[in-house]
Amino acid sequence: MGKRKDQNKRKTISSFRRRVLSHHGLYYFVPGIYKYMDLPAIVSLMAPRPFLSINGAKDLGLPIEGVYEVYRVAKRIYLLYGKEDYLKKQIYNCGHKFLPEMWKDTFDWLRSWLKYGY
d(CA 18, CA 41): 14
Band of residue 108 on the pLDDT scale cut at 50, 70, 90: very high
78 assigned to some structural domain: yes
91 located within any domain: yes
The 10s digit of each residue's pLDDT in 8-35 is 444 444 444 444 444 455 555 777 777 8
Q: What is the pTM of this model?
A: 0.72
- 30 occurs within a structural domain: no
Report pLDDT for 38. Answer: 85
Give the separation between CA 87 and CA 85, rounded to whole angstroms: 5
In a domain, 45, yes or no: yes
pLDDT at position 73 over 70:
yes
How many domains, the chain?
1
In a domain, 27, yes or no: no
Residue 72 is assigned to a structural domain of this protein: yes
Give the separation between CA 92 and CA 53, rounded to whole angstroms. 11
Does residue 9 form part of some domain?
Answer: no
Instruction: Please report whether residue 17 resides in a domain.
Output: no
DSSP summary character for residue 32: T
Domain span at 101: 36-116
Of residues 99 and 17, which shows the higher confidence score? 99
Q: Express as a percent the part of the chain with pLDDT over 70.
A: 73
